[in-house]
Amino acid sequence: MPDVPSVFTLIKVGFGPSSSHTMGPYFAARDFRGIVASGRIRGGRLRAVLLGSLALTGRGHLTDAAVAAGLSGCDLGADPVPPLPDVLAQVRAAGAVRVGGRTFRFNPDEDIVFDPSAGDLPHPNTLRFEVLGEDGRVLVSEEYRSLGGGAVAGGTFGEEGARKGRFTMTEVLRACRERGTDLVGFVRENERQLGLTDVDIDGRLAGLWQAMRDSIARGLRTPGVLPGALGLARRAPGLHAALQESDRALAFSREMDLASTYAIAAAEENAAGGRVVTAPTCGAAGVVPAVLRVLQETLEIPDEKVHDALLVAGLIGLAVAANASIAGAEVGCQGEVGTASAMAAAAACYLLGGDVEAQVDRAAETALEHYLGLTCDPVYGLVQIPCIERNGAAAVGALHAASLAVLCRGEDRISFDTAVAALAEVGRDMSPKYKETGLGGIAGRFREDRRGP
């Protein structure tokens, strides 16, 4: 049996704007809080040092606010998620946090350090937490790595946070043939071997699908301007209204326009720090929900079938995480939006009746290959431009890839595993300035254009 982690380690409810730069640092800060609470130090000052990509784009990703929330004990698992800027302001006003019944001084403006100068890091998303004594001496120190999708290594997480499994889709397809099952049957059996019951699996899938639909619904009904220096207006409500008022598609087929609109709606919710589902990350959280909703509405697919499609999508995402990366700071946006498009294409192909041996694998490969080399270059470090529109484009691309796979039949000459290996290679060779640093690509050109001649 291939060593496949649970799909629920990849597809899970989270909060925006970034799984690697917001969720991960929050979980790390909360973990360090627990370490301090269980220790014997009576007080002092807390400090967080953000390194690599976290230092370069952390302000736009609200990393400082997420760290403050985690150290203060704020619960970001609520629905709706407490606005992170408000949480940061509250911690700033207090100037201290209570941990384990003891008071520790903590001023986010001084005690969260953005240090982009450090080299030779164990991961581009590295951060360190410390307790300082009155003389400035470090009394406690823990280093963490935010691996993408909200996964964290370090502290009490140990290296389990870094566990990606050891499998390929070729091995999975072989196991399906040998067992006489399809991908859904394979994943369900794998989850059972990992300790979940059928009731557990179905309950989690129902919750995830509901959270996905909710993120789209909130995005469609919420007007206004997204937070951050760009002052970017939300567009999903207007796009959806225009589609409802017209009998014709605005550009291509109506389904394609709807998929793009739904993806933008969820992506705008993410950019506003709302509650979304990582699939595989927050930055790409609009793609899979949009594709599944369009297909459900168009083909009148029952929820239970959509739940099965989520298992297929999750397996595809896990294969990328196992053999490449889903972190923009490691491999660029090809690992985020590219993976999301592949996940959505595989899920769509499954819902369209594609066979497990050739067509689902082909759909995922077709979607992924068109995103190889895609940079992660968020303007001002905000998960807005070009991230939101990329979600819309990736949803349309996923539907196109699924349609091609079903229509063409037969095996492709390039397997999904080959495309994933190419993604890993390109990610290794890609210049760091194109990997969630805000130094190159659209972010870099925008900054230069703003400076003027």
Domain final residue, candidates 161, 180, 199: 161
Query: What was the pLDDT predicted at 165?
Result: 76
**Which of 129-143, 250-264, 340-354, 426-440 is the least confident region?**
250-264
Domain final residue, candidates 142, 161, 180: 161
pLDDT tens, residue by residue, 382-433: 999 999 999 999 999 999 999 999 998 766 789 999 999 999 999 999 999 9
User: Which carries the bigger pLDDT value, residue 50 or residue 2?
Assistant: 50
10 occurs within a structural domain? no
Q: What is the CATH number of the domain that holds 286?
A: 1.10.4100
8 occurs within a structural domain? no
Shared domain for 112 and 134, answered yes or no, is yes
Shared domain for 447 and 344, answered yes or no, is yes
Shared domain for 132 and 237, answered yes or no, is no
Query: What was the pLDDT predicted at 452?
Result: 47
* Closest C-alpha to 329, from 58, 114, 59, 86: 58
Residue 72 lies in domain: 19-161
Shared domain for 148 and 277, answered yes or no, is no
197 occurs within a structural domain? yes
Shared domain for 156 and 169, answered yes or no, is no
For the chain, the domain total comes to 2
Shared domain for 151 and 171, answered yes or no, is no
Shared domain for 129 and 59, answered yes or no, is yes
Domain final residue, candidates 161, 196, 225: 161
Shared domain for 150 and 60, answered yes or no, is yes
Shared domain for 267 and 333, answered yes or no, is yes
5 occurs within a structural domain? no
Shared domain for 80 and 153, answered yes or no, is yes
Shared domain for 429 and 337, answered yes or no, is yes
- What is the value of pTM for the model shown? 0.95
247 has a pLDDT exceeding 70 = no
252 has a pLDDT exceeding 90 = no
